[in-house]
Chain A
Amino acid sequence: MATNEEILPDLASIVEEVAGVDAAEVTSEKSFVDDLDIDSLSMVEIAVQAEDKFGVKIPDDELAKLTTVQDAVDYISNHS
């Protein structure tokens, strides 16, 4: 099981790649929508890339529950 410290930098670089948000801004307490201004289409792209990177499956109904960066890190950590 990957740790938070291992997941966060990789997830942040995916967010930067997809949405153009500086990776340094992608910190655990941030909300994807409210803080990082990421739209639902970009979230789908981020999920697809995260699935490949971390070897997890993120179904759409689970993706909808991932509000903050920490939510995503926890999900990945628990499912990889």
Chain B
Amino acid sequence: MRDPILTREYLKRRSFIELSARDRAKCLFDSGTGLELAGPFDRIESPWLAMQDVTPEADDGCIVMRGTIGGQQAVVIAFAGAFQGGAIGEVSGAKLTAALDLARADNEKGIRTNAVLLLETGGVRLQEANLGLAAVAEIISSIIALRRHAPVISLTAGTVGCFGGMSLAAGVASYVVMTPEGRLGLNGPEVIEEESGVEEFDASDRSLIWSVFGGRQRYDQGLADALVDDDADQIAKTVRDLIAQGVPPVHRSEQIDLYRSRITALDNARQWNPEELHFRASQNKEENR
């Protein structure tokens, strides 16, 4: 029989995944401090979508919000997976880059400003192809410039996941936070099946997809720093804790030898069992030493 107390706890929790991008952003801030910038009333739409008979949105699927988190200045940039699969267009990409640059400028003036990226995105928006790809390159650069001063936290809760070029943006972040419903990878299952064949990756195999891309796997293999349940309060607390922790002594994407060494030993003649890549336990041991 199920423990009734657990059930009540479960029912009491507030789902983060079910929130809109705007509400997701808002719930991370200290109560009442989250203020949206360049919002829908500024009506900066994609100039390219209407030309292709695609209806643009007044916020281009990207929400920028400023306020305080745990008493510190912070900017949260959230992608709305519901619009164009959260894909990066010229406007949404420029919002993220400019917000990161403004946060960096504040840090350089001595005002510590942290950044949290809510990445629910399939990557580059193909209707804005080259400007989306260019935006991703600029986003990566701006994250790297900011993270020297203050942590840049990447959060992928689901259900869209973080794919394409934006997975590199998550890769250069100071901390990666995921829920078990989040997924993270460069090429999604359909793309691999399309490009390399169903023998390489069967995109209809749900358990394979989650075993490779899922938040639990990314955490167990040491590619995510925190795994949190789909609970808005828990997620907000995790973000607060990481901001309090500050800039890590070394960023994951600088640790080339460590991450490279984990794959050089594996037998390449066959596909790998995702469990072969579980390095979290040994990593924790090293960190505690």
Q: Is this pair of chains taken from one and the same complex?
A: no
Q: Which residues of B line the A interface, CB within 8 A?
A: none
Q: Which residues of A line the B interface, CB within 8 A?
A: none
